[in-house]
Amino acid sequence: MSFKIAMALLMAILLAAGVAYWLHSNVDRLIKQAIESQGSQMTGAPVRVGSVKISTLDGRGELSNLVIGNPPGFKSLYALKVERVLVEINIATLAKDVVLIKRIEVAAPDVIYEKGTTATNFDVIQKNIATALGSGDDKNSGKKIIVDHFSLRATNAQVSAAFMNGKTIGVSLPDITLNHIGQQKNGITPDEFGQIIAGALKHKLTGAYSFERALSATAEALGKAGSAVKGLFK
């Protein structure tokens, strides 16, 4: 083996070791920044993450204190808040064009489904994601993902409306389980994944609750309360 080849191999080994160390030291921070910046841009709502911890050895980790706020014009505190999201990534696919995420488990999230004057907060979030998808210069560029298993369970769901000034009514929501997301397309963009999850969540919420029935009942109750208050001053 010539001296030049030996030096080239040594440099390659040192570079690989340096990249591995850099990824181990920075991957959590990079993922946190990506979720907050790209998530906020994609949804048109503030997205915050308390911390990210991903093992570069087995790809298992968790996100803590994830909060997706509301787009402008809505009065409730947030669209979704969850203390803990478990993830498992196939580390071997990180350098490939399509990253395999083995599982994402969202346990006991708080969801607020608010109807504004013309649309719900999830309608607007979905529309913003669709706009982000349509505005890309090259939809085929960048990393894509396949999510083998996604679950959202034990949800604390609440609904609200514009006239309720941020107050909410609790409702029950069935669990959501989706498998092999993006597999048929050989990977989807993170924006497309967000669109799928927002759509599934909205579908469950609208199936579990009727805004029209709630608004009618609440308006009637408010009307009776107003009449009673007026009666006190007669």
Confidence check: pLDDT of 138 > 50: no
Pick from 2-11, 88-97, 214-223: least confident: 214-223
For residue 149, give every residue at least 6 positions away whose Cβ sits within 8 Å of its Cβ, in sequence order, or none: 102, 103, 104, 177, 178, 179
Interval 50-104: pLDDT, tens? 998 888 788 898 999 999 999 999 999 999 999 999 999 888 888 888 999 999 9
Q: Is the pLDDT of residue 9 over 80?
A: no
Residue that wins the pLDDT comparison between 111 and 219: 111
Residue 158 domain boundaries: 3-232
Strand partners, 157: 111, 171
Q: Is the pLDDT of residue 149 over 70?
A: yes
At position 17, the amino acid (one-letter code) is A
Record the pTM.
0.73
Between residues 2 and 28, which one has the greater pLDDT? 28
Compute the distance between CA of residue 168 and CA of residue 159 in angstroms, rounded to an integer: 5
Asked if pLDDT for residue 28 goes beyond 50, the answer is yes
How high is the pLDDT of residue 136?
57
- pLDDT of 103 reads 94
pLDDT at 227: 41
| 17-33 mean pLDDT | 68
pLDDT at residue number 20: 55
Closest of 166, 176, 168, 171 to residue 198, by C-alpha: 176
Give the per-residue pLDDT at 55.
Answer: 84
For 2-16, 158-172, 197-211, which range has the lowest pLDDT when averaged over its residues? Answer: 2-16
In this structure, the number of other CB atoms found within 10 A of the CB of residue 41 comes to 13
Under 8 Å CB-to-CB from 124, ≥6 apart: which residues?
Answer: 44, 71, 73, 74, 116
Contact indicator for 110, 69 with CB cutoff of 8 Å: no
Q: Number of structural domains, the chain?
A: 1
pLDDT of residue 18: 56
221 has pLDDT over 90: no
Question: What confidence tier does 230 reach under pLDDT thresholds 50, 70, 90?
Answer: very low
Mean pLDDT confidence for 211-220: 57
Segment 33-42 shows an average pLDDT of: 88
Residue-level pLDDT at 22: 56
